[in-house]
Amino acid sequence: MPKTKTTLTLTTLLAFCVIVFGAYVRLTDAGLGCPDWPGCYGFLGVPENADELSIVEQSFPGQVVEPAKAWREMIHRYIASLLGLLILILFVSEVFKKNKAAFANNFSLKISLLLLLLVIFQGLLGMWTVTLKVHPFVVLAHLVGGLSTLSLLFIYLKRISAPTIPRASFTGLLSFGLVLLIAQILLGGWTSTNYAALGCPDLPLCYGQFWPSNMDINEGFLMWQSFGKNYEGGLLSPPGRTAIHFFHRLGAVALTLGLGVIIFKYIKNPSTKVKNAALVLAAALFFQLLIGIVMVWSGIALSLATAHNAFAALLLLSFLNLVYTIKYR
């Protein structure tokens, strides 16, 4: 168990790093730094010397190698591959660790298998992100897959660290909070993948209006956009981006109210562990809101945008931590 817990902790931390670095790659427009997959212009690394660049000219006519962007993309692939390898190790260790009688009912085996399948699918989504030229729906699915992988690893880690018998059930209020959180993550991902972070340049109003008249909801939420185009930089019109950004703001308000009720309820819990978990959730929510507000007021600084993605993951983990603390306290 100690070895499994150590490996699992490292794997969870690495999954968080993959998500944050993936956001950095996307925000610096490096997602197409390598136009092929899994290599980069047919190489395992980034082609930089004269001979390699000559091969690139023949194999990828018209393409210009941008080493900085290409290396960001390849480093993201390297650490994502390492994450996949660690998850494979977790699964193999579970297969050979347990006796055959416990094999079918082993939670660790089941969740490690699910993680392995998910990370394989994540690899496919990573490939499609490149081959379909950062199509918004594919990029959103890739983001959700990354957060799902992180969440499952965190649940796995909490489960092997917690008592085996739950002491409380998953309440309707917590279920509602989880739905709000997932919806807001999807809205945030859709905002990012469609480059709509500046869809509303002012705050708290949007173009000086409570309900902006210039937004195009139909265009903004057309999920299945056509394939074959290069979506880097976004192809939606300003009204479409305004609609996405505005609804992301509405989602932030709804999430703040929903999580606020949950925090207020459990911060008064007699259990110190539950109270502390609620405080951690409150802190994560506060900083996520603060970063979002500062981003609008000061422009989309790269550091702030990356931090906004990181705190989205931390907010999700903080919520899961509260749920598990309540259930197994």
Burial of 189: CB neighbours in 10 Å, binned 0-12, 13-18, 19+: buried
- Least Cα distance to 236 among 268, 269, 192, 275 occurs for 192
SS3 43: strand
CB within 8 Å of 100: residues ≥ 6 apart: none
SS3 17: helix
CB within 8 Å of 164: residues ≥ 6 apart: none
Instruction: State the amino acid at position 169 in one-letter form.
Output: S
Burial of 157: CB neighbours in 10 Å, binned 0-12, 13-18, 19+: middle
**Is 73 marked active-site?**
yes
Return the half-sphere exposure (C-beta side, CA atoms, 13 A cut-off) of residue 201: 5
Question: Which of 52, 57, 73, 219 is flagged as catalytic?
Answer: 73
Distance between CA atoms of 317 and 146, rounded to whole angstroms? 13
Q: Which long-range contacts (CB under 8 A, 24 or more apart) does 23-28 make?
A: 23/192, 23/305, 23/306, 23/309, 23/310, 24/72, 24/302, 24/306, 25/72, 25/73, 25/76, 26/134, 26/139, 26/192, 26/193, 27/192, 27/302, 27/305, 27/306, 27/309, 28/69, 28/72, 28/302
Burial of 285: CB neighbours in 10 Å, binned 0-12, 13-18, 19+: buried
Distance between CA atoms of 156 and 5, rounded to whole angstroms? 9
Could you list the active site residues? 73
